[in-house]
Structure 1
C-alpha cells in the first residue's frame, strides 16, 4: 500500500512538471525570444526599478526567478560597477519605491554604488511617484537624493516627516483567551518575547527601539543632506515640517524637477544621445553576468541570507529566493573556499536575524577553520546580522557593516505556549502522556512548566547566553564583563556597533573586498578573481531536490532547450513576478522591525 501511494505521488509530480512547469518556462522563452533585441544598444539608458523590493543576495536556486523581485542588493551593486565601465551605458534611471521598498542597509549600499557610478561622469535620474509616511521611506528618499536629479510626479505627495514603526502586543489577548506564554529571555533587551507577554513597550524595549530608529533616521538625514548640499539640521527641519505637495517639495529644494515618469525617461534618453534605448536592469544583468575578475589569486565571496537552521536543502519555497541559511550548506561552502588553493581570503556576506545556536556554532566552526588555514575572513553585513547572525560573524578577522545594518542582539530566548485552557473553552481537551524523566514532557503545550522543568530550561538558556558571550569576547578581543554590559539582547545599528567595538568598519561589499585584499597581502595593482560559494545549483539538481524525480527524468526535462540556462529565458521569467513570503522564526532571533 505504501509503495502504491508513493507511485501515485510520483505520477502526480511528473504530471505537474510536464503540464505546468515545463510549458510555463517554454512559453516564457518563446515570448522572450520573439521580442528580444540587442541586450545593450550603443546608447543605453539603464533602468533600475526598486518598487518590487530586493533580496540581499542572489539566490543559488535557478528557479528563484519565479518568485520575488528577481534582483538582489549585491546584484545591483555588482552590475552598477560594470555599467560604470561600459561605454554603451550612458545614463542610469532609478524608479524609487513609494513606501520604503528597500531596507535602510540596502539603501545605504545602493547609494554608495550610485555615487561610484556618478564618479564615472554618467548622470543618474531618480523618479518618485510619492514618498508615503510608512516604514523606512526616509531611506528611499536618501537613495533618491544621491542621484544627479530627483524627479517627482506632479500629483504625488512628499509625506516623509520622520520614521515610524508599529509593534503588535498579544499579552492581553492571550490572557483573555487562556494562552499561557512561558518564555525565558536573556536579557531585558531581547524583546522578541514581549509581543507574546506584554501589552505595551517595556522601558528597555522602548529605549532600544528608539535608539536604533533614531540612528537610522539620523544617518539617512545626514546622507541625504550631503547629497542635496544642505546641512542636516536644515534638511531635518524642512522634512519634519511636512507633508508637502510636489510643488511645495520642489520649492523647498527637496526634489529637483516635477514630471511624469515618461518625461523623466525622455530626458534620460536625450542625455544618452541620438537613438538611445531604455534597457531593463534585469536584462542587463542577464547579459553581463557577475564580475569574475582575472588573475592568479582569488577572493571567495560566501553568502548566507535568512533564518539560520540546521540541516541542508535551502528555503522552504522551491520557487523562492531561499529564505533560510542551512548550516550544512553554508559550512560546506566555507570549507570549499578553504580547500580552494587559489582562494587567498574570504568575504563572508551575512544577512540574517538569527536562528538556531547549534546551527550558528557549526557555521562559526567553519570560519575558525578558514582562519586556521591562513585565509582571513572579512564579514560584510547586509540588512541585518543580529543574534545568530552576529554569532557566526563574531570571530571573523574583520567586520564591515552599513551604518543602518541591524546587528548585535547578543542574547537568547526560548519557551512555549500552553494551549490547554484556550482549547478547553471550545470543548477541546488536550492531555500529555510522557515516559521517562520529568523533563521529557517539559515542552508539551498541554501543561505549564513545573518548577523543576522551568529551572532546568532556564539553566540551558543561561548556558547558551554564556557561550554567546564567550564567542564575542574571543572574536572581538573584549573582556567578558564588557560584552555582558553591551549585550543583554540589545539590537544596535552598524554605526552604534562600531562605537562599541562590535564592528570594525562602516561600508558594504566593496569595502569588505578591499580589506580582504589587504589582509591577504594582495597588491592593489594586481588583478584578482572572485569565486562565489556556494555555487549555483544546476536546474537538474534543483529539480531532483524539489520533486525527488529520477535523475534521468530531470535531465530530460532540463535538456528541453536548456531553458533555465538561457539568459533570455531568465529575463522573461523575471518579468512574471509574484510576492514571496519570507520565512521567519527560530530560537535565537532578533526583533523583526521591518
Structure 2
C-alpha cells in the first residue's frame, strides 16, 4: 500500500511539474510575441473574395485558411479604431466579388475608424479594367482619399440584372417542365417555364435593381460631395479613364503602389509598420471581449436537411438544419449566453429544413433569449 501511495505521489508530482513548465513556456511565449508597434498602419486587401464564416470541415478549413473572413476584417478595423498605436488604414480595392451587404458592413467599419480621427486611403490598380467597377468604387468612397494607377479606369456604369430562360430550348427538345409555383412572385421556376420575364418577375427584379442602385448613388454622393443628380449623370457618362476620374472628382490622385505607401508612412511616421488584420488581431486581441456572452450562429448557403457543408472547389456552402439547430440548442444550454445573433446568408432551399431551424429560434425566444438576425448578401425564401 505504501509503495502504491508513493508511486501515486511521484505521478502527481510529475504532473504538477509538467503543468508548471507548460505555464512557464506559455508565459515566455506570450512575453516574446511581437506586440503592436507604436506607429502602425492597418493594411487590407479587397482583391480577394471574403468568407462569411470559416468552414467547419477540416479539409475545407485547411484549403481556405488564407481567405479572409468578413467578421475578422470588421473586428480588426473596430479594434484599431480605438488603438492609439494605429495611425491609419490603407486598403487595396479591386475586382473581388464582394456582395453589396458585405460592402456596406465594411463601409460602416471604415466610417467608424475614420470618425476616430485617423486617416484612411483606398487605392486601386483599376476599378473594373473595362468591366463593372460599381461595387469596388462604392466601397472605396468610404475612405478619405481614393488613389488609382494612371493606367487604370473606373467602370462606374450602373447595374444590370439578367435571368436565364430555357423554355424555348426545352420546347425544341420536346421536354415539358411540370413544376409548381406559389404565387406569381415566386419566380425561381420561371427559368424553365417561361421564355421571357413575366410582369411580376420584371417588377421584382426592377425594384431590386432600383433599391441597390439608389443606395450606391446615395453613398457616392455623400462621400464625394456631390448631389444625387450629379452622380447619376456621371454614371450615365461612365466608364472613365485615369485623368477623367480626377477631373470628375471621383478619384483624388493618380499614383502607383509605392507612392501610396510612401504617403501613408509619411503621415503615420517614418518607422510605421504595416500589419494585416490577422496579424494585428493576433497581437492586439479582438474587440468586444468583455461583458455578457452573446452566441453567434451562422446560416450560410442553401438550406438543406442534415449537416452544414462547404466546398472549397466551388465555394458553395449549404446551411444544414442539423448543424444550425444543434448550435441553437447548445446556446440555450449555456447559462452564460444572454442573446443569440443569427447571421443568415442564404437563397433559401428546403422548406422542411427551414422549418426545423425556425422552431429552434422560437424555442430560444420562448425561453427569454433574444434572437437577432443579421442578413448577409442574400436572405431569400427559406433563408428569410
**TM-score, normalized by the shorter chain, greater than 0.5:** yes
SS at match of 1:270: helix
Q: For 2:170 and 2:45, locate their aligned partners in 1 and report how far apart those are by CA, in whole Å.
A: 42
Of residues 367, 370, 381 in structure 2, which corresponds to 1:373? 367
- The answer to whether the aligner puts 1:254 opposite 2:250 as a matched pair is yes
- The answer to whether the aligner puts 1:73 opposite 2:67 as a matched pair is no
Contact 1:345 1:375 in 2 (8 A): yes
- The answer to whether the aligner puts 1:305 opposite 2:305 as a matched pair is no
Aligned to 1:340: 334
SS at match of 1:83: helix
Contact 1:39 1:279 in 2 (8 A): no
- The answer to whether the aligner puts 1:185 opposite 2:188 as a matched pair is no
Q: For 2:337 and 2:75, locate their aligned partners in 1 and report how far apart those are by CA, in whole Å.
A: 20
Q: For 1:214 and 1:139, locate their aligned partners in 2 and report how far apart those are by CA, in whole Å.
A: 15
Shift, 1:159, TM fit = 2.2
TM-score of the aligned structures, taking structure 2 as reference length: 0.85
Gaps of 5+ in 1: 1-36, 391-594
Shift, 1:346, TM fit = 1.4
SS at match of 1:381: strand
Q: For 2:322 and 2:54, locate their aligned partners in 1 and report how far apart those are by CA, in whole Å.
A: 19
Aligned to 1:121: 117
Q: Summarize deviations over 1:337-396 as a string: whole Å, max 9, x none.
A: 112112122111111111111111111111011111111111111111110111xxxxxx
Shift, 1:292, TM fit = 5.0
Contact 2:134 2:155 in 1 (8 A): no
Q: For 2:296 and 2:58, locate their aligned partners in 1 and report how far apart those are by CA, in whole Å.
A: 19
Q: For 2:212 and 2:360, locate their aligned partners in 1 and report how far apart those are by CA, in whole Å.
A: 32
Aligned to 2:13: none
Q: For 1:280 and 1:226, locate their aligned partners in 2 and report how far apart those are by CA, in whole Å.
A: 29
Of residues 226, 229, 252 in structure 2, which corresponds to 1:230? 226
Contact 1:189 1:208 in 2 (8 A): yes
SS at match of 1:186: coil
Shift, 1:72, TM fit = 2.1
Contact 1:47 1:280 in 2 (8 A): yes
Contact 1:61 1:322 in 2 (8 A): no
- The answer to whether the aligner puts 1:162 opposite 2:139 as a matched pair is no
Shift, 1:40, TM fit = 3.7
Contact 1:90 1:272 in 2 (8 A): yes
SS at match of 1:184: coil
Contact 2:72 2:277 in 1 (8 A): no
Superposed counterparts of 1:461-472, under 5 Å: none
Aligned to 2:93: 96
SS at match of 1:47: strand
Of residues 272, 276, 281 in structure 2, which corresponds to 1:280? 276
Of residues 383, 386, 389 in structure 1, which corresponds to 2:377? 383
Gaps of 5+ in 2: 1-32
SS at match of 1:182: coil
Q: For 1:185 and 1:41, locate their aligned partners in 2 and report how far apart those are by CA, in whole Å.
A: 60
Contact 1:138 1:217 in 2 (8 A): no
- The answer to whether the aligner puts 1:267 opposite 2:263 as a matched pair is yes
Q: Summarize deviations over 1:256-312 as a string: whole Å, max 9, x none.
A: 1111122112211221212122223333344456445223x3222222211111112
TM-score of the aligned structures, taking structure 1 as reference length: 0.56
Of residues 192, 197, 202 in structure 2, which corresponds to 1:196? 192
Q: For 2:202 and 2:314, locate their aligned partners in 1 and report how far apart those are by CA, in whole Å.
A: 34
Shift, 1:237, TM fit = 1.1
Aligned to 2:344: 350
Higher relative contact order structure (alpha carbons within 8 Å, sequence separation ≥ 6): 1
Distance 1:315 1:39, change over 3 A: farther
Distance 1:51 1:284, change over 3 A: same
Distance 1:178 1:291, change over 3 A: farther
Superposed counterparts of 1:472-491, under 5 Å: none
